[in-house]
Structure 1
Amino acid sequence: MKEITYPRYHEVLYTTVLDNGLRVNLLPRKNFHKTYGLLTVNYGSIDNTFMPYGQDELIKVPDGIAHFLEHKMFEKKDYDAFDLFGKYGANSNAYTSFTRTSYLFSTTRNIEQCLNTLLDFVQKPYFTDQTVAKEQGIIGQEIKMYDDDPGWRLYFGMVGNLYPNSPLAVDIAGSVESIKKITAQDLYMCHRTFYQPSNMNLFVVGGFEPEEMLSTIRQNQAKKQFEPAIPVTRATFESDLDGQDIIPYRMIELDVQRPETIVGIKGLDEVPKGRAGLFYKLKLEMLMYLLYDETTPQYMELYNKGILDDSFGYDVSLGRGHHFVTISGDTDSPQDLSNAIIEIAENALKLLEGKEEAFELAKKEFVGRTLASMNSLETIANRYEGSLFDYATLFDVVPLYEQMTLDDIKGLAKSFIKSEAMSVYQILPKEDVQ
């Protein structure tokens, strides 16, 4: 195992790549009773057009299949993984994003059994037509529930505005219609293609000895037969770099008490590779903080005018093949709020001028947040993005903040914020629309 030391935090990360291609990261915390394990597949909802393992032509599968597969992995012929984790006194869960699927457990005992269970249920698929049909009903209800969630509709409405011709525009769970098309054969094909050990990484952090943990992992993998690793071939989705594909405005009517508005800014600039990409993301988060945080003068002005309230916030999304920000809130004046958000963005360089003191205070806050998050085993593992940022960990973040300058933020504002990259999506109460 390779040892990566972080003397500043008295931490040592043990990392290796097994013969089958599985990347393993082990971070022992001797004074912690809890252990958290996260097994991640480089496969998400946008990967719906790809070349199946052993084939030489691209195919398109139904929307929502990555999320469907995540749900179905827990149920086996003779046991349910959730029940097994419960037997061992552990909590377990899973989630699917645009670009990844992750399976996890958290426990204070029976670590070896939990780790073996995690690796076994994710790497050994079991699907039948009957179990797939049952899950179609369950996920169909989940999709209908999200259809009734204004916040969810607002967010994906904006993603649809920014990436209208991309699989990003489709709900991660798909639609009731699309999941009805999923078959057991589809699930086996997707598992075979994407759930190769070489397309996965395992991150375990907590109270254990690294050599013992690695021995458990090696023994588990040695018992299994894996097909030869091959690179995954995905279709690349097109997105206009001049912003011509962006839908400037859309609105829907729902049964909500107050209007909701969201402004999106799509990144038309290029995100650097590796650690520089992580630095880019941190700068983008800092830019949004300096423009829209509740401590800014522009926030307070809008708050005092009653245009925004504490529902107001922003989000930065950066992943394989995409990056964008959203700024949103509930308001009685949706047009005033969206106009104000856009005006702040378009005047970013002017607003950042002379803000050295505010920037230095923000850096200290961000560093403090990062240091505090190092006490969370879950955050350490969940923040790991694998190859996207050249295998950087949470412990690599603080030095990047410390080298960040206000000029870096101004430079990013200049390259990222473009009027043609902006869009507005609104949800209005039905009774207010004639």
Structure 2
Amino acid sequence: MQQFKYPKFNQTVYQQRLTNGLLVTMLPMEGFHKTYAVLSTEFGSIDNAFVPVGKDELLTLPDGVSHFLEHKMFEKADHDAFDLFGRLGADANAFTSFTQTRYLFSTTSHLHENLDVLLDFVQDPYFTEQTVAKEKGIIGQEITMYNDDPGWRLYLGMLGNLYPNDPMRIDIAGTQESIQKITAEMLYDAYRTFYQPANMNLFIAGKLDIDQTLAWVEQNQAQKHFDTPSLPKRLAVISDPDANDVIPFRTLTMAVERPKVMVGLRGIQQLDDGKQRLLYKWRINLLLAMLFDETSANFLRLYDAGIIDDSFNYNFEIQRGFHLATFSTDTDQMEQFSDAMIQILKEAPEQLEAVKNQFEDIKHAMLGRLINQLDSPENIAVLYGGGYFDHATLLDEIEILRGIEYDELTTAIDQFIKPERLSVYQIVPPTK
């Protein structure tokens, strides 16, 4: 078993890859009563074109299969996994992102039994055409709900601008039309391909005994048969790696009280090493904090001018295959907001130099927020990035952020900020 020690925090992460390919990562946290476990597969909504296990030809599935599969995994022929967790006093949930599907529980007792339930229901698929048909109505209602959410439509609209020909422009749940095409056979094809132990990882944090917990997991897995470990063969997600297809501007009319606007910036930097991706992520996060944090001169200037309010938000996200930054607000001055964001980004080198003396304070504030996350087994487990970041933990991210120097932010500007990859998306109320 590998051990990764973090003496500054008196923590040790333990990691073991089982013979079937499943990676088990454990972080015991002394003094905590709760344990949080997350079983993840590297399968998300963008992975709808792949070569199924045991086949030779590329298969393209309807949008929404990964999310549909997540819903159906809990239901078995004679029980529902949620009921089993409830009887054991655990809270369970699951969610699907663009690149992952995660199944999780938290508990203060019966860890062994809850781990068995988690592993058993995720590794025992049960789909029929009847149960699939029933689920289409449920997920259809979920899609309708998200379609009525202006904040989600704003974000999804921006993804459509930045990636107009790629799968991340589509709602993770799919569309009303696409989910009608999903069959039990499709779910089994996706399951056999992406739910192999070699494409999955189990992260456990909180109250636990390392040797005992690993023994429980190994015992559970030894009772099951798995094919020889192999990684899925996926179709490349990005159709235009140079981002020449970015749409500069679109607008949507929707029943909102105030207009909403988002400026987006698409990145194209390709990094093959997970730790380098984390370094890139935190360089960009530091850069954006210096330019747009609520203590920055830019924020205060725009706030005082009434161009932004407390709804202003900026975010950088990096997932397998794509990354972007977004800047959004509710405002009656949409053009002024867009122009201001774009101007700040275009002038990033000069803007950054003007606030150079604030670098250490902003960096320490970000470190403080990350360190505070260490008080929560749930946050540590949820923030675990998986294979795309070489299975680094929150503790690794803290060390990476701590080591960044001011001069590295100029590299981040050169790598990420290109005016030709900027875009604007607006949501406006109906004209009276």
The interval holding the TM-score normalised by the smaller chain is: over 0.9
- Helix, strand or coil for the counterpart of 1:353? helix
2:251 is aligned with what amino acid?
M
The 2-side partners of 1:271 and 1:409 are apart by 17
1:90 is aligned with what amino acid?
A
- Asked if structure 2 preserves the Cα contact closer than 8 Å seen for 1:51 and 1:232, the reply is yes
In the alignment, is residue 200 of structure 1 matched against residue 206 of structure 2? no
2:281 is aligned with what amino acid?
K
Q: Corresponding residue for 1:352?
A: 352
Q: Corresponding residue for 1:112?
A: 112
Q: Corresponding residue for 1:231?
A: 231
Q: Corresponding residue for 2:428?
A: 428
Equivalent positions of 1:109-188 (< 5 A) are 109-188=109-188
Question: Which consecutive residues of structure 2, in runs of 5 or more, have no partner in the other structure?
Answer: none
Q: Corresponding residue for 1:399?
A: 399
The verdict on how the C-alpha distance between 1:349 and 1:239 changes in structure 2, with shifts beyond 3 A counting, is farther
The verdict on how the C-alpha distance between 1:272 and 1:407 changes in structure 2, with shifts beyond 3 A counting, is farther
CA shift digits 1:274-333 (9 cap, x unpaired): 211100001111111111111111111111111100000011110111011111010011
Q: CA RMSD in A?
A: 1.1
Q: Corresponding residue for 2:7?
A: 7
CA shift digits 1:38-94 (9 cap, x unpaired): 000010000000000101111100100000000110011111111111111110000
- Asked if structure 2 preserves the Cα contact closer than 8 Å seen for 1:43 and 1:101, the reply is yes
- 1:269 deviates by 2.7
Moved more, 380-389 or 31-40: 380-389
The 2-side partners of 1:270 and 1:122 are apart by 32
The 1-side partners of 2:269 and 2:327 are apart by 19
Percent identity, please.
50
The 1-side partners of 2:108 and 2:400 are apart by 33
In the alignment, is residue 74 of structure 1 matched against residue 58 of structure 2? no
The 1-side partners of 2:72 and 2:59 are apart by 22
1:28 is aligned with what amino acid?
P
Q: Corresponding residue for 1:282?
A: 282
- 1:422 deviates by 0.3
The 1-side partners of 2:162 and 2:357 are apart by 34
- Helix, strand or coil for the counterpart of 1:72? helix
- Asked if structure 1 preserves the Cα contact closer than 8 Å seen for 2:53 and 2:193, the reply is yes
- Asked if structure 1 preserves the Cα contact closer than 8 Å seen for 2:268 and 2:322, the reply is no
- Helix, strand or coil for the counterpart of 2:8? coil
Equivalent positions of 1:299-318 (< 5 A) are 299-318=299-318
Moved more, 232-241 or 338-347: 232-241
- Helix, strand or coil for the counterpart of 2:155? helix
Q: Corresponding residue for 1:94?
A: 94
Count the aligned residue pairs. Answer: 432
The 2-side partners of 1:186 and 1:420 are apart by 39
1:250 is aligned with what amino acid?
R
- TM-score normalized by the length of structure 1: 0.98
Q: Corresponding residue for 2:339?
A: 339
- Asked if structure 2 preserves the Cα contact closer than 8 Å seen for 1:314 and 1:327, the reply is yes
- Helix, strand or coil for the counterpart of 2:314? strand
The 2-side partners of 1:379 and 1:318 are apart by 18
- 1:377 deviates by 0.5
The 2-side partners of 1:331 and 1:416 are apart by 27
The 2-side partners of 1:223 and 1:399 are apart by 39
- Asked if structure 1 preserves the Cα contact closer than 8 Å seen for 2:33 and 2:207, the reply is yes
Q: Corresponding residue for 1:213?
A: 213
Q: Corresponding residue for 1:252?
A: 252
1:63 is aligned with what amino acid?
D
- Asked if structure 2 preserves the Cα contact closer than 8 Å seen for 1:241 and 1:269, the reply is no
The 1-side partners of 2:344 and 2:47 are apart by 35
Moved more, 314-323 or 36-45: 314-323
- 1:416 deviates by 1.0
The 1-side partners of 2:295 and 2:149 are apart by 29
- Asked if structure 2 preserves the Cα contact closer than 8 Å seen for 1:194 and 1:232, the reply is yes
The 2-side partners of 1:319 and 1:23 are apart by 20
- 1:398 deviates by 2.2
